[in-house]
Structure 1
Amino acid sequence: MRKSLLLSLLMAVPGLLAAPLSAQTVATAHADTLVKSESSWNGVKYVAYPSTSPQLTVIKLTIPAHTALPWHKHPVPNAGYVLAGQLTIEDRESGKKKTFTTGQAFAESVNDVHRGISGDVPTVLILTYSGTKGTPTSIPVDSKQPEY
């Protein structure tokens, strides 16, 4: 009885036995370029990469509301994406500031002392660094307190 019930159920759904278990559609994806730049957000041009093998680092950084990160610099090119909140980047030498909000991406500065400042809610960023093995992604200045 159980066999006939199972067989009846399988026959009731045409093509069930013939259908591949992992059917997939092959198609191209849609891509939105968020950042493509030869210079950082403050207009400073990037210079040539080191001649060693690259090492990519991707981090998710959460900054509490109403927080200024310590002054720091990055020795390698990097880009950020604001998942939540907002980030104001402040360049120490020029005093220039620019604010990025949820859904915006930015090209970070290299070797310029700067800091990030969050707004009224926590800021969540995805940061991608294009460096080399053994090279830090962020270097603290002045207080020696790290960015993260």
Structure 2
Amino acid sequence: MTHKRSFAALIVFLIPLLTPVHAQTVSSAHADILVKSDSSWNGKPYTAYPQGRPQLTLLKMTIPAHTALPWHVHPMPNAGYVLSGQLTIEDRATGKKQTFQAGQAFTESVNDVHRGVSGDQPTVLLITYSGTPGLPTSEPLKGEKPEY
């Protein structure tokens, strides 16, 4: 009888060790704010979202090395993140430029003519747009090709 009890106790002890390991439950995750702004990279404040039902769009854009995108505008607030490479944003009216490296986030201007220029490596971006159904995320300047 003692052997049976010892064997039963051993099984009770070993069962937790033999069961599959489950993910540890945590009370919360860690989050880093990459960008939070009420104005675009060039300092121009955002004034409003487009009217209508919201539609969010997330793009992954790849720009070849040494490429200047066509001049264009965005009719809605948007923000980007440089996954790899670098991006220089140029404002056509002021000539102001700002360069963002891999790991940096940025906010783009609304209805200001600008373009992005890649560096020595291809540039990969994640860009999120806060628009409405039917509203294009990018509009080329007259005579320019579409951005994508």
What interval of TM-score do these two structures reach, taking the shorter chain for normalisation? 0.7 to 0.9
Q: What residue in structure 2 maps to residue 107 of structure 1?
A: 107
- Could you tell me which amino acid in structure 1 is paired with residue 142 of structure 2? D
Residue correspondences, number: 138
AA paired with 1:72?
H
* Alignment-mate amino acid for residue 44 of structure 1: K
State how far apart, in whole Å, the 2-side matches of 1:84 and 1:48 are: 31
Q: Which amino acid aligns with 1:73?
A: V
Give 1:51 deviation, angstroms.
Answer: 3.5
Aligned to 2:45: 45
In the alignment, the residues of structure 1 paired with residue 23 and residue 104 of structure 2 have an alpha-carbon distance, to the nearest angstrom, of: 35
Structure-1 separation of matches of 2:47 and 2:56: 17
**2:122 equivalent to 1:122:** yes
Structure with bigger gyration radius: 2
The yes-or-no answer on 1:136 pairing with 2:139 is no
Partner of 1:3: none
Aligned to 1:32: 32
Structure 2 counterpart SS, 1:15:
helix
Task: Measure the CA separation in 1 of the matches of 2:123 and 2:24.
Answer: 37
* Unaligned stretches of 5+ residues in structure 2: 1-10
Paired residue for 1:63? 63
Identity percentage of aligned residues: 69
The answer for the alignment partner of 1:5 in structure 2 is none
CA distance in 1, matches of 2:115, 2:100: 13
Task: Select the structure that is richer in helix.
Answer: 2
Unaligned runs of 5+ residues in structure 1 are 1-10
Cα RMSD, aligned residues only: 2.1
Could you tell me whether the CA contact under 8 Å between 2:50 and 2:76 is conserved in 1? Answer: no
> Offset at 1:53?
1.4
Q: Which residue of 1 aligns with 2:3?
A: none
